[in-house]
Amino acid sequence: MLDKIEDIEVTWARRQESIRGILKHLRVMVETAQLHSHLAERHCGISATHLWALWELHRAPGLRAIDLAKAMAIQAPMAKTMLHDLQAQGLVHGISAVGGQNSVRMSLTEAGRQRIGLFPGAPQGVVAAAVENLDDDRLDHLRLALQALLEAMPHADGKAAFAPLGDCIRDLGEAHPTPAAARIGA
């Protein structure tokens, strides 16, 4: 009987350690993403989300707003707004193709290419870069694990799925400064 109690206590202790480890990993991930967002603004003068959009256009010149939205997993109107913002700053330019306004293909200007070069890290964001580097098995395992975690959360809002992480982190950081923001003098 004593062995069963000890086994239960050991199992419970391991579970608690796993929970604490996951919470720590999530905190580090959010902190790292927030630091990345602040660094993008500091080094490039644009948001991490805008930097990511420039990087996508660098990877695949001639994207339409809908293509950019798909590449960044955001809503098309948000991508269109970003492209207008970037165009107003002289970082991208559009070439109209046959078919009207929805077929405008965007490319980087020289200023846009230079802006990407100012950033010392992954222009697409640290989380996106890390996820892209996972092998297929780990990627699928992570997707399923995160899906299970979200299903267990009572107030998870699916609308956030289409908001760039950099924007979520920046908005959170504006309301509640974090140690990352303090370290870089933001």
Task: Please state the domain extents for the chain.
Answer: 2-183
Task: For domain 2-183, give the CATH number.
Answer: 1.10.10.10
Q: What is the mean pLDDT of residues 62-85?
A: 94
Residue 179 has what pLDDT? 47
Instruction: Count the Cβ atoms, other than its own, within 10 Å of residue 167.
Output: 16
Taking residues 95-111, what's their average pLDDT? Answer: 79
Helices and strands, counts by H and E, the chain: 9, 2
CA distance 78 to 83: 9
At residue 100, the pLDDT reads 57
Asked if the model's pLDDT at residue 157 lies above 90, the reply is no
What does the pLDDT read at residue 169?
A: 65
Q: How many residues does the chain have?
A: 186
Residue-wise over 116-143: b if at least 16 C-beta within 10 A, else e? beebeebbbbbbbeeeeeeeeeeeeeee
- Which pLDDT score, from 0 to 100, does residue 25 have? 94
Gyration radius from the chain CA atoms? 20
Chain segment 8-34, per-residue pLDDT in tens: 999 999 999 999 999 999 999 999 999
pLDDT at 166 over 70: no
Both tokens assigned to 37: 């967002």
Q: What is the pLDDT of residues 122-136, one digit of tens each?
A: 899 999 999 999 999
